[in-house]
Structure 1
Amino acid sequence: MGIQALLRVTLVFTLCVILMGAYTRLSDAGLGCPDWPGCYGMLKVPSQQHELAQAQDAFPGLEVEPKKAWLEMIHRYIAGALGLLVLVVFILCLKKLDAPKKLPTIIAILILFQAALGMWTVTMKLMPVVVMSHLIGGFTLISLLFLLYLRTKPLRIPGGDIVARKLAPLALASMGVLILQIILGGWTSSNYAALACTSLPICEGDWYKNLQLTQAFNPFQGVHETYEFGVLDYSSRMTIHVAHRFGAILTTGILLWLAYKLFTRSQSALLKRASLVLVGLVILQVGLGISNVVLHLPLGIAVSHNAGAAMLLMTLVFINYALWRKA
């Protein structure tokens, strides 16, 4: 298998890990297995009578919930397979003379750090800053893998020199805004603030009188036995949710402006198509976000919202790569 084909497979696995992580988190299965890397001291979910007795002895007071435990273990199995794929990519890039070297090394280090974050997510009982970091690590990983894929497949954008010089800074700023919005989304999810506001367009009642910015965005929330289901009060969660909504409005405007500029000013058919993809993904993501509120966070839509964010980020990576290479 060539390195490009392997990277395509690795990208698919990375997206699966991100989505499975979101599904596990949204199913409240993040602590389905109270230890790491196994489950109740085993490599699979205990199911036999002697295994359940062993789990009970090792973790007294905890009841094995097979559905949640399997969700957590499947997530770990897929993540483990992704780690092996990244290792193979790293080795192939080192062996191939004309392949990038620094970027695969960064990706290999990142996958190790992601494994550590996965462990800390469990051992620190879903501490929000750790959960959010784990989520951001997944988005960073898929972005860097996609960038590596683009670097192994040179682009040809005829007639794009002038537009690149003028729109490259806007594209970079747009990606920065999107990254901040993804971080806000991760903080919203890790603090169980997705349903803190259930009305549109902003929040119900006199929400602006109850904003608690300092407490809402303080990464140090004290020491708790568990952070599952959140430890912040309603005002803090509402503040996080409102910030995410305002961020969505700002992000939508900037990304649509970038898409408009690309479509109207670029001479490249490739960049024009990318701008249309960007518009489609923005509309889809806004629709998914609204659906999450109106339908009270249905699991399928909430997971799709994570997928939309990943696809938006990859689209911005592609646009920036194309523009800055020509610039």
Structure 2
Amino acid sequence: MKILVRIAIILAFVVVVLGAFTRLTDAGLGCPDWPGCYGHLTVPKAEQVNSAQAKFPQQIIEPQKAWNEMIHRYFAGTLGLIILAIAVLSIYKPHAQKVRVFSISLFFLVCFQAALGMWTVTLVLLPAVVLAHLIGGFSIFVLLVLLERALAYTAVTKTKLPKLAWLCFIVLLIQIILGGWTSTNYAALACTELPICEDGWQQRLDLNAFHLISPEADTYQYGVLDYSARMTIHIAHRIWAVITLFTLLGWAVFCFFQSQKRVSGFARLNIASASLIVLLATQVGLGIANVVLSLPLMVAVLHNAVALLLLTAFVLTLYYYSVAPVQSRAR
């Protein structure tokens, strides 16, 4: 089961990256139906284009975008089947209660994630749904990592997490949500100057930008908010990024000091803390590069991927802080 979980971790990371690539190449509606594509299990072939176009006369068939979308769905579907297998194995094999709870929770989460994938298409990229889909993908990856840790190690001692840990978690979660909201509302290029935005941004702030209920539209592709709203979202993401940077740096330093007091598990906590610092520096650099270079595709995809790794590294610092793990027997 451990090997299956590790395969699922790799696949979940690929799915998240492919999801970001699909969104950033404007391929979220590359296939206007779900789970197929123009009524087919694959992108329509040359001889199927006419019949596909007849079913969706308002849609322009763009094969490259359609393939981006379908490849993402194929990988996501494979991940779902693997998580189903993990859940079944956790029920019929003698695993600890924690492993069983993680596995079954993952199964229900991936089912809900599939529904969000469908709604992403049927609700024509409604920002709140796309954001929820992003958070769901992040959650699946992190839970898989924690499941792998539960299978690999047995926690022999527990330490209560300090309030600082929960504060850091909330700060990081808000930043991830702001990043997702920036992306789903196509606000990544609303400000092209550093450190905040173009002159006069203070007078143009619009707090309505954070309403989860978006204005009615035929499609939300390319965004429906005006410039002031997008600018406000972008600025909020930048300012909160600075808060997140210093908050998580403080947590990493705190963990380094706390690890020196531990009899066991300190090496893993140090590694997780060091990884957190490296990922923070990388993410800040990628964020600046997105602005300076006008959102290059690969940099934007990496920004999304590193955000996932950053969240995972932070969660692992919580795990290693609260428990002193010892090696478990192979399962």
User: Which of 74, 81, 84 does residue 84 from structure 1 map onto?
Assistant: 81
Is 1:241 aligned to 2:234, yes or no? yes
The CA distance in 1 between the partners of 2:137 and 2:267, in whole Å, is: 31
Deviation at 1:294, TM superposition (A): 0.5
Deviation at 1:320, TM superposition (A): 0.9
Supply the AA of the counterpart residue of 1:240: I
Is 1:261 aligned to 2:254, yes or no? yes
Show structure 1 runs of 5+ residues with no match. Answer: none
Q: Percent identity?
A: 50
The CA distance in 1 between the partners of 2:129 and 2:52, in whole Å, is: 26
State how 1:95-106 maps to structure 2 within 5 Å.
95-99=92-96, 100-106=99-105
User: Which of 307, 310, 327 does residue 308 from structure 2 map onto?
Assistant: 310
The CA distance in 1 between the partners of 2:88 and 2:176, in whole Å, is: 31
Answer yes or no: is the 8 Å Cα contact 1:168–1:324 preserved in 2.
Answer: no
State how 1:264-279 maps to structure 2 within 5 Å.
264-267=257-260, 268-279=266-277
CA deviation string 1:11-70 (max 9, x = no partner): 110010100000000000100001100000000111222x01111111113221000000
The CA distance in 1 between the partners of 2:88 and 2:5, in whole Å, is: 13
User: Which of 278, 281, 294 does residue 280 from structure 1 map onto?
Assistant: 278
Answer yes or no: is the 8 Å Cα contact 2:155–2:323 preserved in 1.
Answer: no
Q: Which residue of 2 aligns with 1:199?
A: 193
User: Which of 200, 211, 218 does residue 218 from structure 1 map onto?
Assistant: 211
The CA distance in 2 between the partners of 1:222 and 1:210, in whole Å, is: 19
Aligned length, in residue pairs: 318
Is 1:184 aligned to 2:167, yes or no? no
The CA distance in 1 between the partners of 2:286 and 2:28, in whole Å, is: 23
Is 1:232 aligned to 2:232, yes or no? no
Deviation at 1:156, TM superposition (A): 6.9
Is 1:110 aligned to 2:104, yes or no? no
Answer yes or no: is the 8 Å Cα contact 1:172–1:320 preserved in 2.
Answer: no
The CA distance in 2 between the partners of 1:314 and 1:301, in whole Å, is: 20
Q: Which residue of 1 aligns with 2:327?
A: none
The CA distance in 1 between the partners of 2:229 and 2:58, in whole Å, is: 31
Answer yes or no: is the 8 Å Cα contact 2:172–2:244 preserved in 1.
Answer: yes
| Secondary structure, counterpart of 1:228 in structure 2 | coil
Answer yes or no: is the 8 Å Cα contact 1:192–1:229 preserved in 2.
Answer: yes
| Secondary structure, counterpart of 2:252 in structure 1 | helix
Deviation at 1:155, TM superposition (A): 5.7
Answer yes or no: is the 8 Å Cα contact 2:273–2:314 preserved in 1.
Answer: no
User: Which of 201, 205, 209 does residue 203 from structure 2 map onto?
Assistant: 209
Supply the AA of the counterpart residue of 1:179: L
Answer yes or no: is the 8 Å Cα contact 2:127–2:185 preserved in 1.
Answer: yes
Show structure 2 runs of 5+ residues with no match. Answer: 261-265, 325-331
The CA distance in 2 between the partners of 1:224 and 1:152, in whole Å, is: 47
Supply the AA of the counterpart residue of 2:84: L
Answer yes or no: is the 8 Å Cα contact 1:288–1:304 preserved in 2.
Answer: yes
Deviation at 1:248, TM superposition (A): 0.4
State how 1:139-150 maps to structure 2 within 5 Å.
139-150=138-149
Is 1:93 aligned to 2:87, yes or no? no
The CA distance in 2 between the partners of 1:124 and 1:244, in whole Å, is: 25
The CA distance in 1 between the partners of 2:62 and 2:286, in whole Å, is: 30
Deviation at 1:208, TM superposition (A): 1.2
The CA distance in 2 between the partners of 1:308 and 1:150, in whole Å, is: 20
Q: Which residue of 2 aligns with 1:25?
A: 23
The CA distance in 2 between the partners of 1:168 and 1:12, in whole Å, is: 31
The CA distance in 1 between the partners of 2:146 and 2:174, in whole Å, is: 19
User: Which of 243, 252, 262 does residue 245 from structure 2 map onto?
Assistant: 252
Report the RMSD for the aligned CA atoms in angstroms: 1.7
The CA distance in 1 between the partners of 2:267 and 2:143, in whole Å, is: 25
Report the TM-score, using the length of structure 1 for normalisation: 0.93
Answer yes or no: is the 8 Å Cα contact 1:15–1:142 preserved in 2.
Answer: yes
Deviation at 1:96, TM superposition (A): 1.9
The CA distance in 1 between the partners of 2:110 and 2:215, in whole Å, is: 28
Deviation at 1:176, TM superposition (A): 2.1
Report the TM-score, using the length of structure 2 for normalisation: 0.92
Deviation at 1:146, TM superposition (A): 1.1
Q: Which residue of 2 aligns with 1:65?
A: 62
